[in-house]
Amino acid sequence: MSDFSIYEVGPRDGLQSADTITSTYDKVTLIRKIAKAGIKNIEVGSMVNPDRVPNMADSDVVFLKVQDLAPEHNLGVLVPNRRGVERGKAVGVEKFNIFFSPSNFFNVNNFGKSLNTIFAEYCGALDGIRPENVRVYLSTAFGCPIIGEIPQEDMLKTMEWANTLGDTIVLSDTIGNANPSLIRKVMRLTDRKIDAKIALHLHHGFREGRMYDNLSAGFDCGITQFDSSIGGMGGCPFIPGSGGNLATEQLVRWGSKENLDCGVTIKDLEPLMKFVNTRIKV
């Protein structure tokens, strides 16, 4: 049995903000190579407004072309609202990723809605979908670009709400601010009324030493699933200094360094990394 698992976000988070549109063929090939490398959890796209995120306009088609990988692989899709959930359902999506922030300022500034409104909309949209099929991303879990550190009472309230919607809460380091002390501080809150599994989504991939420290802190706190993106693609381009995503190869190297098994080796990733380096423009 593996010590931790990878949740690969490259096909969505890695590509969504790219200047160059990636072809449907290359997206499908990328996802299949990720699966062939032994990674079982893959975010394959996002059901968002194609005018806002052109690189995700074909997510419906991409999902249909890789649907045969399920159920051996968990194929997730990011959905921002009820319309996104309905689009996903229409093509057979079963695993949904949703997102909001414990900072109401961030929600209003970035999503145009209050946390109360976002939560109520998701409650209705996800009616009938089992919590084990929902991952809840908490953006700005370790700090907000508007208000700074999230007050503990806001963080706990948002975690409790997330706990009612999904069985996995993903603590997202939106601004690249996470450090071992902050990770331990936030994780202590999960001992109170939170029974969902906790996953970690880290940025600032260019600081490898700090990244390893954060991974170790998360693992020591009981986190056993980590988001990553092959080649470190993606991140949060709208927040200067937040850095790219944790690279999948970094995550695997950390596991090897700590004698932890994730079922994937650097050798397994080599064909995938070669494809990304030669075919994917971000």
Residues annotated catalytic, as ranges:
236
SS3 state of residue 45: strand
Whether the Cβ atoms of residue 222 and residue 187 lie closer than 8 Å to each other: yes
Q: How far apart are CA 21 and CA 15, in angstroms?
A: 8
- Dihedral, 74, 121, 105, 244 alpha carbons, nearest 10: 20
Whether the Cβ atoms of residue 202 and residue 241 lie closer than 8 Å to each other: no
Of the candidates 169, 175, 170, which has an alpha carbon nearest to the alpha carbon of residue 148? 175
Tell me the residue length of the chain. 282
Exposed/middle/buried for 165, CB within 10 Å: 0-12, 13-18, 19+?
buried
Q: How far apart are CA 67 and CA 71, in angstroms?
A: 9
Question: 162 - beta bridge partners?
Answer: none
Q: How far apart are CA 119 and CA 88, in angstroms?
A: 19
Q: How far apart are CA 246 and CA 1, in angstroms?
A: 23
Opening angle at CA 73, ends 251 and 159, nearest 5: 65
* CA distances for 227 relative to 8, 54, 103, angstroms: 6, 23, 22
Q: How far apart are CA 239 and CA 202, in angstroms?
A: 14
Of the candidates 282, 200, 280, which has an alpha carbon nearest to the alpha carbon of residue 234? 282
